[in-house]
Amino acid sequence: MALSGKVTVVGAGFYGSTTALRLAQYNIFKEVVLTDIVEGKPEGLALDINQSRSIEGFETLVGGATTTAEGGGYEATANSDVVVITAGLPRKPGMSRMDLIEVNAKIVRGVAENVAKHSPNAVVIVVSNPLDEMTALTQLATGFAKNKVMGQAGMLDTARFTNFVASKLNVPVSSVKTLTLGSHGETMVPVPSRCTVDGKPLSTLLSQAEIDELVDLTRNGGAQIVALLKTGSAYYAPSAAAARMAKAVYEDSKEVMPVCAWVDGEYGISGVYLGVEAEIGKNGINKVVATDLTPSELESLKVAAEAVRAKQADVKNL
């Protein structure tokens, strides 16, 4: 199969570089570009990844480009089909995702403006924290249609929920199906009514107290990793989620994934970026896919929507 297409990953930290590696190893893209403001870092990582190609058996070329706050270096990213924005500071122990909003807003705004300048037809996947707010800011800064900008949240949170359920029941992760909606933060909404193990409802296998415990673990999954690492935050699972989203866009797969998408009427909620299930394709979000929720789950989703709505309104001025 001939390789084609171009993906840019902005930010060459652990998250960005691991995402670039995963994208290259899919062996479907002609080029993956990794950028960073630290001089030489993206070029060095790109060289390292390229030298693994014969070992791992992929042909995708990875390029590195040092960029500046003034927009220098972004020429290397021109005409990307997909751009993954990982730029920004990671959390430190004791910090919430919201603690990063002002400092990361300035960084993400600058990146988004340069993405729009050099890749005006790209689909953008945002992973910078606080996720929901940075997704909204990216759409404003690029001026792209709302369906062309999405955030990576539910894919990661759902994967965490799945892992906790599988570990609790000592079953293969492949037998577990879970779902999380809402925000990527304190108002995350795990959806136990949509959780099954080998097709059996989770509620028939665990008590409500046990399910609540797993929900709490999921909601605090990122903070737990930050506390253990002491410096930095999670990147293996997050990069897997972002890479799969980019792959779905490029392949026009029409897969339904839990992502941060613009909601306009679904669930009785309008005018906000929120974690929902959506069909992903070459134009980004094809459509939001509403699912049946219990009354309490729906209420929690509406609470999450209002919580992130207020913060997303604030980012216009950041």
Paired sense of beta strands 61-66 and 176-177, if any: unpaired
Helices vs strands, H then E, count in the chain: 10, 14
The contacts of residue 229 (CB under 8 Å, 6+ apart) are none
Other C-beta atoms lying within 10 Å of the C-beta of residue 257: 22
Told to judge if 184 belongs to the known catalytic residues of this protein, a careful annotator would answer: yes
Q: Which residue of the set 148, 184, 194, 244 is catalytic?
A: 184
- CA-to-CA distance for 58 and 144, rounded, in angstroms? 32
One digit per residue, the tens of pLDDT, for the chain of length 318 reads: 789 999 999 999 999 999 999 999 999 999 999 999 999 999 999 999 999 999 999 999 999 999 998 999 999 999 999 999 999 876 567 666 567 777 889 999 999 999 999 999 999 999 998 899 999 999 999 999 999 999 998 999 999 999 999 999 999 999 999 999 998 878 899 999 999 999 999 999 999 999 999 999 999 999 899 999 998 889 999 999 999 999 999 999 999 999 999 999 999 999 999 999 999 999 999 999 999 999 999 999 999 999 999 888 878 777
First-to-last C-alpha distance (Å) of the chain = 44
Cβ(108)–Cβ(134) under 8 Å? yes
* CA distances from residue 299 to 10, 196, 286 in whole angstroms, order as listed: 36, 22, 25
Model pLDDT, residue 96: 60
Sign of the C-alpha dihedral computed for residues 146, 315, 184 and 307 taken in this order: negative
Looking at residue 102, its pLDDT comes to 79
Residue-level pLDDT at 135: 96
- From the list 205, 218, 229, the residue with the least C-alpha distance to 275 is 218
